[in-house]
A and B are shown apart, each in its own frame.
Chain A
Amino acid sequence: MTTQGEFDQRISRRTVTAGVAGGVMFSGLVARLAQLQLLEGQRYREIADENGVKLELAPPLRGSIYDRFGVPLASHRQAGRISIIREQTPDMEASLREVARQIDLTSDQQARVIQQARQQASFQSTIVKSELTYEEFARMSLLAADIPGVQVDMAATRSYPRGRDFAHMLGYVAKASADDLARLTEGATQEETELLRRLFRHPDMRTGRSGVERHAEEWLRGEPGFRRLETNAAGRVIKELDSADVAPTPGKDIGLTVDAELQRAAIERFGDESGAAVVLDIETGAILAFVSTPAFDPNDFVNGISQADYDALRENDRSPLYHKAYDGTYPPGSTFKMVVATAALEAGINPEMRVHCPGHYRFGNRTWHCWKRGGHGSVNMHWAIKGSCDVYFYEIARRTGVEKIAEVSRKFGFGQRWELGMTGGRRGTVPDDAWKRAALGEPWYEGETLNYGIGQGYLSTTPLQLALYSARIAANGRLIEPYIIGEGPRPDERIPDAEPLNEEIMKRMQAGMYGVTSEAGGTAWRSGDLGLGGPRLAGKTGTAQVRRITKEERATGVLKGDQIARKLRDHALFVCYAPADDPKYAAAVVVEHGEGGSSTAAPVARDIMATAIRRDSRRAARWQTASVAPSIITTKGAP
Chain B
Amino acid sequence: MARAARASSMRFEDRTLASTLGQLPWGLILMLVSVACIGTAALYSSTYTNPAESALPLRHAIRFAVALVLMFLIALVPIKVWLQAAWPAYLVTLAMLVGVELFGVTGGGATRWLPLGPINVQPSEFMKLALTLALARYYHNNLTHQSGRFFIHLPPLLLILVPAALIFKQPDFGTTLALFASGGVLIYLGGLYYRIIFGVVAAGLASAWPIYAFVLEEYQRKRVDTFLAQLTGQAVNTLDDGYQIEQAKIAIGSGGWQGRGFMEGIQAQLDYIPEQHTDFILTVIAEEFGFLGATGLLLLWAIILIWGLVIARSSASLFGRFAAVGCVATVAFFILFNVAMVLGLVPVVGVPLPLVSYGGTVMFTTMACFGIILSVHLGRDERLSSQGVI
A42 vs B256: C-alpha distance when bound (angstroms): 7
The contact of A30 among B189, B271, B298, by CB within 8 Å, is B298
Q: Do A32 and B253 have beta carbons less than 8 Å apart?
A: no
Known contacts A14-B189, A238-B49; is A232 also within 8 Å of B336 by CB?
A: no
Known contacts A37-B286, A41-B254, A51-B267; is A15 also within 8 Å of B321 by CB?
A: yes
Q: Give B181 Cβ to nearest chain A Cβ, in Å.
A: 11
Known contacts A7-B145, A15-B189, A29-B336; is A44 also within 8 Å of B254 by CB?
A: yes
The contact of B390 among A11, A28, A232, by CB within 8 Å, is A11
Those of B276-314 within 8 Å (CB) of chain A: 286-287, 290-291, 294-295, 298, 301-302, 305-306, 309, 312-313
- Residues of A with C-beta under 8 A to B318: 11
- Residues of B with C-beta under 8 A to A1: 145-146
B43: Cβ under 8 A from any A Cβ: no
A238 vs B250: C-alpha distance when bound (angstroms): 20
Q: Give B302 Cβ to nearest chain A Cβ, in Å.
A: 5
- Residues of A with C-beta under 8 A to B146: 1-2
Q: Give B231 Cβ to nearest chain A Cβ, in Å.
A: 10
Q: Do A48 and B267 have beta carbons less than 8 Å apart?
A: yes
Known contacts A15-B189, A41-B255; is A51 also within 8 Å of B250 by CB?
A: yes
Q: Do A15 and B312 have beta carbons less than 8 Å apart?
A: yes
A8 vs B145: C-alpha distance when bound (angstroms): 10
A2 vs B390: C-alpha distance when bound (angstroms): 13
Chain-B contact segment, one of A16-24, A385-393, A475-483: A16-24
Known contacts A40-B253, A48-B254; is A14 also within 8 Å of B188 by CB?
A: yes
Known contacts A37-B253, A41-B256, A51-B272; is A29 also within 8 Å of B298 by CB?
A: yes
A526 vs B272: C-alpha distance when bound (angstroms): 81
The contact of B250 among A3, A25, A42, A48, by CB within 8 Å, is A48
- Residues of A with C-beta under 8 A to B313: 12, 15-16
A38 vs B191: C-alpha distance when bound (angstroms): 41
Those of A374-401 within 8 Å (CB) of chain B: none
| Chain B residue at minimum C-beta to C-beta distance from A14 | B189
A532: Cβ under 8 A from any B Cβ: no
Q: Do B390 and A8 have beta carbons less than 8 Å apart?
A: yes
Q: Do B271 and A233 have beta carbons less than 8 Å apart?
A: yes
| Chain A residue at minimum C-beta to C-beta distance from B335 | A26
Chain A, residues 397-425, CB within 8 Å of chain B (1/0): the string is: 00000000000000000000000000000
A615: Cβ under 8 A from any B Cβ: no
B99: Cβ under 8 A from any A Cβ: no
Total A-B pairs in contact (CB under 8 Å)? 143
Q: Contact residue range for chain B?
A: 35 or more
- Residues of A with C-beta under 8 A to B249: 36, 44
Q: Give B184 Cβ to nearest chain A Cβ, in Å.
A: 10
- Residues of A with C-beta under 8 A to B191: 10-11, 14
- Residues of A with C-beta under 8 A to B250: 44, 47-48, 51
Q: Give B326 Cβ to nearest chain A Cβ, in Å.
A: 11
Q: Do A52 and B270 have beta carbons less than 8 Å apart?
A: yes
Q: Do A38 and B295 have beta carbons less than 8 Å apart?
A: no
Q: Give A245 Cβ to nearest chain B Cβ, in Å.
A: 21
Chain B, residues 62-106, CB within 8 Å of chain A (1/0): the string is: 000000000000000000000000000000000000000000000
Q: Give A177 Cβ to nearest chain B Cβ, in Å.
A: 22
- Residues of A with C-beta under 8 A to B290: 37
Known contacts A33-B291, A38-B256, A41-B255; is A51 also within 8 Å of B266 by CB?
A: yes
A233 vs B265: C-alpha distance when bound (angstroms): 13
A16 vs B325: C-alpha distance when bound (angstroms): 11
A47 vs B309: C-alpha distance when bound (angstroms): 42
A185: Cβ under 8 A from any B Cβ: no
- Residues of B with C-beta under 8 A to A12: 313
Given contacts A23-B302, A23-B306, A51-B270, 4 further A-B contacts (CB under 8 A): A16-B309, A22-B332, A37-B290, A232-B270
Chain B residues near A (Cβ < 8 Å): 49, 145-148, 185, 188-189, 191, 247, 249-257, 266-267, 269-273, 286-287, 290-291, 294-295, 298, 301-302, 305-306, 309, 312-313, 318, 321, 325, 329, 332, 336, 339-340, 343, 345, 390
Nearest first, the 7 closest Cβ-Cβ pairs linking A and B are A44-B253, A48-B254, A232-B270, A45-B254, A41-B256, A37-B291, A233-B272
